[in-house]
Amino acid sequence: MYHNILVPISFDTERDVTGSLKLARLLATSEARITLLHVVEAIPTYAMTYMPTDYLIEARKATERELAKLAAELPNAQAVVIEGHSGRSILDWAEQNGPDLIIIASHRPGMQDLLLGSTAAQVVRHAACAVHVVR
Give the residue-averaged pLDDT of 108-129: 76
Q: What is the 3-state secondary structure (H, E, C) of 28-69?
A: EEEEEEEEEEEEECCCCHHHHCCCCCCHHHHHHHHHHHHHHH
The least confident of 4-8, 60-64, 91-95, 117-121 is 117-121
Q: Which residues of 118-133 are buried (b: 16+ CB within 10 A; e: fewer)?
A: bbbbbbbeebeeebbe
CA distances from 64 to 60, 69, 109 (A): 6, 9, 28
pLDDT of residue 97: 98
Phi and psi based region of residue 98 (left: phi greater than 0; alpha: psi -120 to 50; beta: remaining): left
**pLDDT band at 49; cut points 50, 70, 90:** confident
| CA gap 36, 42 in Å, rounded | 20
Q: Which residues of 12-22 are buried (b: 16+ CB within 10 A; e: fewer)?
A: eeeeebeebbe
Closest CA to 107 of 26, 12, 6, 24: 12
Q: What's the CATH superfamily of 2-134?
A: HUPs (3.40.50.620)
Look at residue 23 and tell me whether its pLDDT is greater than 90: yes
pTM for this predicted structure: 0.91
**pLDDT band at 3; cut points 50, 70, 90:** very high
Look at residue 60 and tell me whether its pLDDT is greater than 50: yes
Look at residue 86 and tell me whether its pLDDT is greater than 90: yes
Chain centroid offset of residue 124 CA: 13
**pLDDT band at 12; cut points 50, 70, 90:** confident
Give the residue-averaged pLDDT of 89-110: 91
Give SS3 for 99: coil
Q: Compute the mean pLDDT over every residue in the chain, rounded to the nearest whole number.
A: 91
